């Protein structure tokens, strides 16, 4: 029986395990008009049922991945439904050219949604510059005035900035970024320093990321990090590290990063080995792997 009270096709994704409240549970996922539905309200309030059923063939449904630091394309096939295009340390004219035209956009068949730019530099520490050009690294001794001179004042399309908090006048710069709703990220004192610090605020959650490729982070540092902050990284936590945690860091869990009722229907279907089989944005299939072509009907 199709829905009569509310416009829009109701999709029921059945025969699946969905990530909900930190667990994989055997339950269907209901979607309409790009949002996750509460089936109880659908049944009892609207007296409505699915217009279309999709057999997920006993696979996993998880929130779409969110990448907050990336310099690449071709994201849909890897399950990324939202991301922050990242600009590394560059000259002022390059930043300003990009920043003034940056817009936050929803994802579609054309690609993953843009949550805002991640400006990585140039206000970083030369001792921790990594692959950044040292000649382009700057400070902000004039406070936020130097930030505006570098990026321009049109920062509505910026979601995150990487800077060195040990730089002079960093506190006022960080406060101004926060006032504008822009998150900040930094490299000091690195992961080990964070995990072993006794100065962490008890009323806030700190998020950290690392590139575990043996190049950006030495294997011994990874082992130390795990021993200092051990966790059983099962499937559920692994999936949340790529979805819920970045959404929490950006403050967007009201619409992204979970499969909670009322949130955006950005999700992925994976096999038990976590290979991405299909990617959905706003409830619409935007990518499908060769092994699933035509099967998710």
Contacts of 169 (CB under 8 A, 6+ apart): 140, 141, 142, 143
> How far is CA 33 from each of CA 6, 77, 93, 289, rounded to the nearest angstrom?
10, 23, 41, 24
- β-strands 80-88, 117-120: how paired? parallel
Q: Which domains does the chain have, with CATH numbers?
A: 10-63+255-292 (2.30.40.10), 65-187 (3.20.20.140)
User: Which pLDDT score, from 0 to 100, does residue 1 have?
Assistant: 46
Tokens of residue 102, six digits = 């940056």
Rg (CA), the chain: 21
Q: Is 295 exposed, middle or buried (0-12, 13-18, 19+ CB in 10 A)?
A: middle
- Label each residue of 84-121 as H, E or C: EEEEECCCHHHHHHHHCCCCCECCECCECEECCEEEEC
Tokens of residue 28, six digits = 């269907």
User: Which pLDDT score, from 0 to 100, does residue 231 have?
Assistant: 65
Closest CA relative to residue 68, chosen from 265, 281, 292, 256: 256
Please, what is the end-to-end C-alpha distance for the chain in angstroms? 18
* Helix or strand run (H / E) with residue 145: helix 144-151
User: Which pLDDT score, from 0 to 100, does residue 128 have?
Assistant: 82
User: Which pLDDT score, from 0 to 100, does residue 193 have?
Assistant: 59
Q: Are 16 and 61 in contact (CB under 8 A)?
A: yes
Q: Is 55 exposed, middle or buried (0-12, 13-18, 19+ CB in 10 A)?
A: middle
User: Which pLDDT score, from 0 to 100, does residue 207 have?
Assistant: 73
User: Which pLDDT score, from 0 to 100, does residue 291 have?
Assistant: 75
User: Which pLDDT score, from 0 to 100, does residue 190 have?
Assistant: 57
Q: Coil, strand, or helix at residue 171?
A: helix
- Residue 86 phi, psi (nearest 5): -105, 130
| Cross-strand partners of 86 | 118
Those residues of the chain that have pLDDT short of 50 are 1-3
**pLDDT tens-place string over residues 97-141:** 999 999 999 998 889 999 999 999 999 998 888 889 999 999 999
Burial 224-243 (b: 16+ CB within 10 A, else e): ebeeeeeeeeebbeebbebb
Q: Coil, strand, or helix at residue 269?
A: strand
Give the side-chain half-sphere CA count within 13 A for 249.
25
pTM of the predicted model as reported, rounded to 2 decimal places = 0.88
Strand locations in 121-223 (E): 158-162, 183-185
User: Which pLDDT score, from 0 to 100, does residue 223 have?
Assistant: 79
Closest CA relative to residue 49, chosen from 60, 58, 41, 57: 41
Q: Are 18 and 27 in contact (CB under 8 A)?
A: yes
């Amino acid at each position: 029986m199709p829905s009569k009270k509310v416009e829009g096709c109701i999709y029921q994704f059945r025969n699946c395990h969905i990530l909900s409240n930190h667990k994989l549970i055997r339950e269907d996922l209901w979607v309409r008009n790009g949002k996750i539905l509460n089936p109880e309200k659908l049944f009892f309030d609207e007296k409505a049922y699915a217009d279309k059923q999709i057999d997920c063939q006993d696979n996993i449904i998880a929130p779409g991945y969110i990448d907050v630091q990336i310099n690449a394309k071709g994201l849909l096939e890897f399950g990324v439904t939202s991301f922050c295009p990242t600009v590394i340390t560059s000259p002022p004219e390059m930043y300003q050219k990009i920043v003034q035209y940056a817009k936050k956009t929803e994802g579609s068949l054309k690609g993953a949604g843009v949550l805002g730019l991640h400006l990585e530099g140039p206000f970083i520490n030369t001792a921790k510059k990594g692959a950044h050009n040292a000649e382009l690294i700057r400070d902000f001794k004039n406070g936020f005035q130097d930030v505006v001179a570098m990026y321009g004042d049109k920062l509505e399309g910026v979601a995150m900035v990487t800077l060195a908090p040990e730089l002079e006048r960093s506190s006022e710069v960080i406060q101004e970024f926060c006032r504008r709703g822009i998150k900040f990220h930094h490299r000091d004192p690195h992961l080990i320093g964070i995990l072993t610090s006794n100065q962490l605020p008890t009323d806030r959650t700190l998020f950290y990321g690392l590139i575990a490729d043996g190049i950006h982070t030495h294997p011994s540092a990874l082992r130390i990090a795990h021993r200092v902050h051990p966790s059983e990284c099962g499937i559920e936590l692994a999936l949340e590290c790529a979805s819920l945690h970045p959404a929490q860091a950006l403050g967007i869990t009201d619409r992204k990063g979970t499969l909670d009722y009322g949130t955006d229907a950005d999700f992925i279907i994976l096999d038990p080995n976590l290979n991405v089989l299909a990617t959905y944005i706003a409830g619409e299939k935007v990518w499908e792997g060769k092994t699933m072509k035509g099967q998710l009907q």
